[in-house]
Structure 1
Amino acid sequence: MERHALLTDDLIKLSSCSEHVKCLIIGSGPAGYTAAIYAARADLNPVLYTGILAGGQLTQTTEVENYPGYPDGIQGPEMMENFRKQAERLGTDIRLGYITSVDFSGMPHVVVVDEAKTITADTVIISTGASAKWLGLESEQKYNGFGVSACAVCDGFFFRGQDLAIVGAGDTAAEEAIYLAKLARKVYMLVRRDEFRASKAMVQRVLNTPNIEILYNTETKEITGDGLNVTGVKVQNNKVQEETILDVTGFFVAIGHQPNTHIFKGWLDMDETGYIKTKPGTTYTNIRGVFCCGDAQDHVYRQAVTAAGTGCMAAIDAERYLAGRAADLILEEEAT
């Protein structure tokens, strides 16, 4: 495996501003904060760096109604603030900062924060999440959370009985279109080419869903709205170069996600997309003492509740790993 080790000169230069921690958590979404809560209760004295977007993707959503414990729903930013406060109350040292490089070649592990400070850690929990891929339209971001979404399972509930559009041609797009069709009156599926990229089985399911209308060779030009919510989407048929506006109140983007894991390339085993591989049933990576939870390793479910669950697992795995190391050291001392 290719190693991107930190240069010795860099370590010497940064050594004056280094510190050592027992448990370092990288990322601050549901997975990271839950890992912090459990690690703090296990007396691991966790230090958590929030990353660029403190609170993760949920801080960019509005209503959350599918997380247990909130019978009336809750705003995404408020929910993440509750997570943060709980982690902090239990003793987590939460810091604003971005991890710019890592060195997992030995023990303890070494990370650099904001290219200015080194931290060594006995255990590292990675919870950097994943980011949805967007079309890149200005109107798409303007109405993000107000009719535009990248998660049908998260937000489809709010559009029951309405007309919707979804862009994408892969298995995920097909699956989400079918999910939305159960809730919506009609779903327009916008496919840029003249065929799907999805498997034949998924395509057949889409074709057999009566309230899904597939628009092939169709490109999204703009999401229209009244300044508050989505009211339509302007599309172009690339075969006849004709533009039309679809009257929809919701627009879903299903063109994939990108895990935020680039700084760990060369160190951790990943799939072809960049999701970190963990040992089945655990959060262990291929590097001892390094664990991964949340959407950085989950390309299937990508829900807040599943992320929180793996955050819990990561903290427990880290605690047991440290306990095992301590026991090994005692045995080594006794042997000598």
Structure 2
Amino acid sequence: MYKSIVIGTGPAGLTAAIYLARANLKPLVIEGMQPGGQLTTTTEVENFPGFPQGIMGPELMDNMRQQAERFGAEFKSAWVESVDFSERPFKVNVEGMGELLAESVIISTGASAKYLGIPGEQENVGRGVSTCATCDGFFFRGKKIIVIGGGDSAMEEASFLTRFASSVTVVNRRTELRASKIMQDRARENEKIQWALDRTPVEVVTSETGVKGLKVRNNETGEEELIEAEGVFVAIGHTPNTGFLGNQITTDPTGYILVKPGTTETNIPGVFACGDVQDTRYRQAITAAGTGCMAAMDCEKYLEGHMVHDWSETLNK
């Protein structure tokens, strides 16, 4: 029996763990298959407060983990297969550990960026390939950039990247864009944005110095061509990591967890959500950390009046 189990790490889960541990709630953190979350796949993080010279993503996550461990948080590298929130204590089924019981649960499993699955893509993430313009746009100042996608997110990323890039080429496999009219109009009015529509991405092409461009296929002629660029931003959406919940938590139509406005409370009392798994708008390390703090404080307040297990003997040991 645990007072609280945190499912997932990243800035949200680790911040929640720090606050829970400092409150003497001795949380168990289930790290999943990618401890530290998406930041472990990035290189330098320059927009996280407190690091004027920047910090490497994996180092930032490791520092947060050590901070949580210092206050007594327990970590397990495992995969949560399923949960049962029908009654308290809640049941969390963990691969290799069996069924764990918890008086409260914080879900911080994040959202995974969608990728194309083409050659040269995954192996160059953080080395010229990115899924976050806000995170990485600064590194491409004065360079040519490609944005792949045709929705609102792609238009927003392309417009944002023109602040840094010498030019931005939007690549979309269809002739028409899915983005709203206002977003399309805004992008089309930007002189720095060029268009390569009705093109299917085939391969991210690299050289010894990094990304060289994107090979695309003209869907009308079948011919392949290389669009030169030093950065490729994939903007085809994100998938929240909520499949293991088995529809027990209320989500929006795309799977993001819905929380009570101004809190991290889900539809089930005692279950909280923080970070990108409930954030469809900001998706930044600092905002995720902030909601992790909120989740821990919401959880602590909840447990004050809803303990189902006498912890006095355990705490006195």
* Counterpart in the other structure of 1:76: 57
Aligned counterpart, 2:221: 240
Between the aligned partners of 1:161 and 1:138, the Cα distance in structure 2 is 26
Residues paired across the two proteins, number: 309
Greater than 3 Å deviation, 4+ residue runs: none
The reply on whether 1:100 has 2:73 as its aligned counterpart is no
* C-alpha distance in 2 between matches for 1:266 and 1:49: 20
After superposition, give the CA deviation of every residue in 1:103-124 in whole Å (9 maximum; x if it has no partner): 0000110011106411110110
Q: C-alpha distance in 1, partners of 2:82/2:200? A: 38
- Aligned residue number for residue 12 of structure 1: none
What amino acid is aligned across from residue 152 of structure 1 in structure 2? A
Is 2:103–2:307's contact at 8 Å kept on the other side of the alignment?
no
Question: Which of the residues 2, 9, 20 maps onto 1:39?
Answer: 20
AA of the residue aligned to 2:20: A
Aligned partners of 1:278 and 1:190: how far apart in 2? Answer: 35
Aligned mates of 2:59, 2:281 — CA distance in 1? 26
For 1:141 and 1:192, the matched residues in 2 are separated by 20
1:265 shift after superposition: 3.0
Alignment of 1:263-302 (within 5 A): 263-302=244-283
Distance (whole Å) between structure 2 residues aligned to residue 301 and residue 138 of structure 1: 29
The superposition leaves residues 19-47 of structure 1 with CA deviations (integer Å, 9 ceiling, x where unpaired) of: x0001100011000000000111111111
Alignment of 1:64 with 2:50, yes or no, is no
8 Å CA contact 1:259, 1:296 repeated in 2: yes
Cα offset, 1:247, TM superposition: 1.5
Kindly state the Cα deviation for residue 182 of structure 1 after the two structures are TM-superposed: 1.5
Structure 1 spans left out of the alignment, 5+ residues:
1-19, 330-336
AA in 1 matched with 2:129 = V
Alignment partner of 1:31: what SS? Answer: helix
For residue 324 of structure 1, report the CA deviation from its aligned partner.
2.7
Structure 2 CA distance for partners of 1:160 and 1:45, relative to 1, 3 Å: same
- TM superposition shift of 1:227: 4.2
Deviation (angstroms), 1:97: 1.1
Which amino acid counterpart does residue 86 of structure 1 have in structure 2? Q
In structure 2, distance between residues paired with 1:238 and 1:160: 31
Q: Does 1:162 align with 2:140?
A: no
Q: Distance in 1 between matches of 2:119 and 2:49?
A: 34
3-state DSSP class of the match of 1:164?
strand
1:232-291 per-residue CA deviation (whole Å, 9 max, x = no partner) reads: 111121112222111200000000000111011320001111101100000000001000
Aligned to 1:15: none
- Partner of 1:129 in structure 2? 110
In structure 1, give the amino acid aligned to 2:289: A
After superposition, residues 49-60 of structure 1 pair within 5 angstroms as 49-60=30-41
Q: Tell me the secondary structure at the aligned position of residue 103 of structure 2.
A: strand
- 2 CA distance for matches of 1:227 and 1:91? 45
Greater C-alpha Rg: 1
Where do residues 1-336 of structure 1 align in structure 2 (5 Å cutoff)? Answer: 20-114=1-95, 116-325=97-306
The 1-side partners of 2:117 and 2:226 are apart by: 19
User: Which amino acid in 2 is paired with 1:235?
Assistant: V
1:143, CA displacement in angstroms?
1.0
Stretch of structure 1 that moved more, 27-36 or 259-268: 259-268
How far 1:214 sits from its partner (Å)? 1.2
CA distance in 2, matches of 1:262, 1:276: 11
Q: Secondary structure at the match of 1:310?
A: helix
Structure 1: distance between partners of 2:209 and 2:38: 21
- Structure 2: runs of 5 or more not aligned: 311-317
Aligned amino acid, residue 117 of structure 2:
G
Range with bigger deviation, 223-232 or 293-302: 223-232
Alignment check: 8 A CA contact 2:147 2:154 kept: yes
> C-alpha distance in 1, partners of 2:97/2:18?
27
